C-alpha cells in the first residue's frame, strides 16, 4: 500500500483540478517573501512542516495593527516588525521544508475550533468510508490534534452543535460528496494508495475547506 508523506504533493494534485482546487486555502512552500505577501492579504496564516503530523511544528502567524504574533503550541510570541517576526519563525522552525497556508477561521463549539476528519479505505476496487469524526481543540490551542489534547466527537454530533438539523445533514453530505470527488484525483496521481484521511474545516459562513490530506490517517 503506497504512502505519501508530503502534504505539498497531495495539495498540488488537488490544486490542478478546478473542481477540487476551489476548496483549498491558498497554499505554497514557505519562504519569507510568501509570508510577507500572504500577511498583506490575510489576517493570519498557518505555517506547518511539509512532512509530519500530530500538530508538531505548526505555527499560527497573525498580523495586527501594531505588531505580529506567532502562536506555537500554547505560547504566543510578539514581534514589532516583520523582520523580527521572520527571525523568530526561523528559530522556531524545525530543520525541514514548511508550507504556508491561508488561515481559515473555523466554526467553533464553546469558542474552540473544530475540524473534521474523514477516513476512507480501498478494498478490492472500491473505496469505503470508515469514519466521519470531528476534532475539538483543547482550550487555549489553535490546533485540534488528539495527541495535543483535542477531543473526538462524532461528526454529526459536532455539526448539530453548530447548525440546525437539516443544515447539519446537508453539510455532512457535502463533506462526503467532496471526498468522493477528491479520491479519483489523488488515486490517478498516486497509484497504489489504499487509504486516505481528509481534514476539513467549515468557516463561520458554512463554506467547506480542504485543510490537509493524509495517506496514513490515525
Per-residue pLDDT tens digits for 102-121: 999 999 989 888 999 999 99
Please report the pLDDT score of residue 148 as a whole number. Answer: 57
The band of 138, judged by pLDDT with boundaries at 50, 70 and 90, is confident
Q: What is the C-alpha separation between 177 and 141, in angstroms, rounded? A: 30
- As given in the structure block, the three cell numbers for residue 195 are 487509504
CATH fold group of domain 7-23+105-214: D-amino Acid Aminotransferase; Chain A, domain 1 (3.30.470)
Whether the pLDDT of residue 55 is over 80: the answer is no
Please report the pLDDT score of residue 2 as a whole number. Answer: 76
Whether the pLDDT of residue 94 is over 80: the answer is no
| 43 membership: H or E segment, kind and range | none
Could you tell me the pTM of the whole model? 0.91
Whether the pLDDT of residue 44 is over 70: the answer is yes
The band of 216, judged by pLDDT with boundaries at 50, 70 and 90, is confident
The domain limits of the chain are 7-23+105-214, 27-102
Q: Which residue spans within 20-80 are E strands per DSSP?
A: 27-29, 44-49, 59-63, 68-72, 75-79
Percentage of the residues of the chain whose pLDDT score is greater than 90: 76
Amino acid at each position: 500500500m503506497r504512502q505519501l508523506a508530503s502534504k505539498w504533493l497531495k495539495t498540488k494534485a488537488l490544486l490542478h483540478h478546478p473542481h477540487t482546487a476551489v476548496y483549498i486555502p491558498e497554499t505554497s512552500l514557505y519562504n519569507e517573501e510568501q509570508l510577507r505577501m500572504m500577511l498583506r492579504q490575510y489576517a493570519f496564516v498557518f505555517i506547518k512542516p511539509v512532512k509530519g503530523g500530530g500538530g508538531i511544528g505548526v505555527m499560527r502567524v497573525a498580523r495586527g495593527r501594531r505588531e505580529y504574533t506567532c502562536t506555537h503550541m500554547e505560547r504566543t510570541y510578539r514581534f514589532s516588525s516583520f523582520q523580527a517576526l521572520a527571525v523568530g519563525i526561523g528559530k522556531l522552525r524545525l530543520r525541514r521544508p514548511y508550507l504556508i497556508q491561508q488561515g481559515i477561521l473555523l466554526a467553533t463549539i464553546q469558542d474552540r475550533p473544530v475540524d473534521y476528519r474523514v477516513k476512507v479505505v480501498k478494498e478490492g476496487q472500491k473505496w469505503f468510508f470508515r469514519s466521519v469524526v470531528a476534532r475539538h481543540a483543547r482550550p487555549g490551542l489553535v490546533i485540534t490534534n488528539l495527541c495535543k489534547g483535542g477531543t473526538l466527537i462524532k461528526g454529526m454530533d459536532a455539526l448539530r452543535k453548530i447548525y440546525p438539523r437539516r443544515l447539519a445533514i446537508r453539510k455532512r453530505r457535502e463533506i462526503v460528496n467532496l471526498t468522493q470527488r477528491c479520491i479519483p484525483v489523488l488515486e490517478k496521481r498516486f497509484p497504489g494508495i489504499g487509504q486516505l484521511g481528509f481534514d476539513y474545516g467549515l468557516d463561520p459562513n458554512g463554506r467547506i475547506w480542504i485543510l490537509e490530506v493524509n495517506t496514513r490517517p490515525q
